[in-house]
């Protein structure tokens, strides 16, 4: 192509396409620089592996939350802004149960019930880790799923069921109200203080394993998340309920005509989505050691980014989007400070959507 032809082509570019082209050029430059840093030794290979591992860990808890959000949209057709606060519900309820059982004899009942809001003890003194209190951690994990499901079903009965025929904007606004209500009810009970709940993570360093020691809290998160993701896949693909959910996602009216109980599918959707969100919130605290009433709210944008990036309504797209988001926010630490690393994830999301507005999974609108 001649220089004149190139100039004409650039002049014909829309502002959106030009912006996308600039972002794509930036991604190519950074990818080349990453290779250069590894080759010349400025970035240790172990450091690169560590960043990729952290990206996987982040993508898994984002993915658990994104599955629920994507299912809610796919079945109920609205963006549920209270989904982030379901993560917070799971975190607080699950760790309350873990503290009630794991802290017996080490702290008073009131202190354990309110997650040490009085500062009477510490996570280290209670021994809250997967090795020191494995049964308490497991009970908390189960409770996080179960109690979050109960909260979600109660919200559906009190709020969303009355708005079944409402438009998406009405439901979205209602979900914002639900989010604020949940967050500040939690604040009334547990206070707004951020506090540490988990003792320092134990490590496993077998002689036969290459690389550094394994953080057992991170490994617990990875194993639990992968098991749940596989379980959801099997449920959707090989059970009658899963087929009903996929049918209702494709065409709700047709599903109703064929005898599928739409209310049963909606209830199951809330149960699965809320359970995964509750577990995600609980595991995030296990990994980060700290809890705050804003935990889910701060993660909500990343969860939405993963869902939009993968293709709204596609569960597998949500997982793919979560992997891209988690990897990006960690690899970006090579060039930018941690306070700005989420900017890289959203920039990549914008780039993908400029050229593929339907998302990575081509706008699949089914589960």
* pLDDT of res. 20: 65
**Structure tokens of 241?**
């309920």
Contact 287, 220 (CB under 8 A): no
**Structure tokens of 20?**
């996308």
* pLDDT of res. 236: 87
d(CA 195, CA 261): 44
Domains assigned to the chain: 41-201+214-355 (1.10.3470)
* pLDDT of res. 56: 93
Tell me the CA distances in angstroms from 350 to 64, 218, 254, 298, one per residue in order: 22, 30, 35, 20
Distance, CA of 12 to chain centre: 40
How far from each other are the two terminal CA atoms of the chain, in whole angstroms? Answer: 44
Q: Where is mean pLDDT largest: 81-90, 125-134, 233-242, 302-311? A: 81-90
Given a cut of 60, whether residue 367 has pLDDT beyond it is no
* pLDDT of res. 365: 47
* pLDDT of res. 186: 94
| Long-range contacts of residues 217-224, Cβ cutoff 8 Å, at least 24 apart | 217/129, 217/130, 217/286, 217/287, 218/53, 218/57, 218/287, 220/130, 220/137, 220/283, 220/286, 221/57, 221/60, 221/61, 221/283, 221/286, 221/287, 222/56, 222/57, 222/60, 224/141, 224/279, 224/283
| Phi, psi (rounded to 5 degrees) for 290 | -115, 155
pLDDT bucket at 85, cuts 50 / 70 / 90: very high
Query: What's the pTM value of the predicted model, to 2 decimals?
Result: 0.88
3-class DSSP assignment, residue 176:
helix
d(CA 130, CA 224): 13
pLDDT tens, position by position, 196-205: 888 888 888 7
Given a cut of 90, whether residue 343 has pLDDT beyond it is no
* pLDDT of res. 61: 93
Please tell me the chain's helix, strand, coil percentages from 3-state DSSP, rounded to the nearest 5. 75, 0, 25
d(CA 116, CA 296): 20
d(CA 24, CA 32): 12
Burial of 93 (0-12, 13-18, 19+ CB in 10 A): buried
* pLDDT of res. 107: 72
Q: Mean pLDDT lowest for which of 70-79, 319-328, 357-366? A: 357-366
3-class DSSP assignment, residue 215:
strand
Contact 325, 309 (CB under 8 A): yes
| Arithmetic mean of pLDDT, 236-241 | 88
Percent of the chain with pLDDT over 90: 35
Contact 34, 331 (CB under 8 A): yes
3-class DSSP assignment, residue 43:
coil
Contact 128, 98 (CB under 8 A): yes
């Amino acid at each position: 192509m001649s220089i004149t032809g190139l100039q004409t082509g650039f002049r014909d570019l829309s502002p959106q396409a030009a912006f996308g082209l600039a972002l794509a050029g930036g991604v190519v430059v950074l990818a080349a620089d990453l290779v250069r840093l590894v080759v010349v030794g400025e970035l240790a290979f172990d450091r690169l592996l560590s960043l990729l591992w952290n990206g996987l860990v982040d993508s898994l808890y984002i993915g658990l939350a994104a599955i629920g959000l994507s299912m809610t949209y796919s079945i109920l057709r609205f963006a549920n802004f209270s989904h982030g606060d379901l993560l917070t519900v799971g975190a607080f309820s699950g760790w309350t149960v873990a503290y009630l059982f794991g802290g017996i004899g080490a702290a008073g009942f009131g202190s354990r019930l309110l997650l040490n809001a009085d500062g009477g003890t510490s996570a280290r003194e209670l021994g809250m880790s997967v090795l020191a209190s494995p049964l308490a951690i497991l009970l908390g994990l189960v409770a996080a799923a179960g109690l979050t499901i109960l909260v979600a079903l109660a919200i559906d009965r009190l709020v969303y069921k009355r708005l079944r025929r409402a438009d998406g904007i009405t439901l979205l606004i209602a979900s914002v109200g639900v989010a604020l209500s949940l967050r500040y009810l939690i604040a009334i009970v547990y206070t707004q203080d951020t506090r540490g709940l988990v003792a320092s993570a134990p490590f496993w360093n077998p002689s036969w394993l290459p690389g550094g020691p394994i953080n057992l809290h991170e490994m617990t998160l990875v194993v639990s998340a992968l098991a749940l993701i596989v379980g959801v896949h099997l449920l959707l693909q090989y059970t009658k309920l899963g087929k009903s959910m996929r049918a209702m996602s494709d065409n709700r009216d047709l599903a109703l005509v064929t005898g599928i109980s739409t209310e049963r599918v909606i209830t199951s959707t809330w149960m699965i989505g809320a359970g995964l969100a509750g577990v995600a919130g609980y595991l995030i605290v296990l990994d980060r050691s700290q809890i705050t009433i804003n935990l889910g709210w701060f993660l909500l944008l990343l969860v939405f980014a993963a869902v939009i990036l993968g293709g709204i309504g596609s569960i597998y797209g949500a997982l793919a989007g979560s992997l891209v988001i988690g990897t990006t926010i960690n690899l970006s630490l090579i060039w930018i400070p941690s306070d700005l690393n989420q900017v890289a994830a959203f920039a990549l999301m914008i780039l993908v959507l400029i050229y593929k507005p339907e998302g990575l999974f081509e706008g699949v609108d089914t589960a």
